[in-house]
Amino acid sequence: MDGRNDMKLAQMEEIGKHIANYRKKAGMTQLELAAKTDLSLQHIGYIENGRRQVTLKTLINITNALEVNLSTFFLGIERADDQVGQLVTKLEYHPKKETYLTIFNAILDASSD
C-alpha cells in the first residue's frame, strides 16, 4: 500500500475514534447514535472502527446528534497532530536522535504485537 492510502486509513481510524469518544462522553450507545442519525448500527460500528469512509454530510449528521460543533470536533484531531509535529521537531535536532529513534521503534514494534 502506498503512503497516501496509509494516511487515508489512519485519518479514517482517527475520525472514527474521535466519534466513539464523543459518543461515550455523551453517554450514548452506538444503537442510540444510529437511531439519531438514521444510520444502521453496523454502519456506526464500521465508522468508529475506521472501516468506513465518512462523507461530510454524514459527519455533520453525527456531530449534530452528539451536539458537537464540527470545528470543535476537528480541533482535538488537530491538537494531536500538533503534538506529534512538535515531538518530531524536538527529536530532529536532539543530539541523541539515533538512540531515541531506536527506542521509539522498539516500543512501536512491541506494541503492535
Q: Tens digits of per-residue pLDDT, 6-49?
A: 545 567 888 999 999 999 999 999 999 999 999 999 999 999 99
Q: Which CATH class is domain 1-68?
A: mainly alpha
pTM: 0.63
Give CA–CA dist 49/97, Å, rounded: 34
pLDDT at 5: 55
Q: Tens digits of per-residue pLDDT, 50-72?
A: 888 899 999 999 999 999 888 88
Helix axes 97-111, 70-92, angle to 10 degrees: 130
Torsions phi, psi for 58 (to 5 deg)? -65, -40
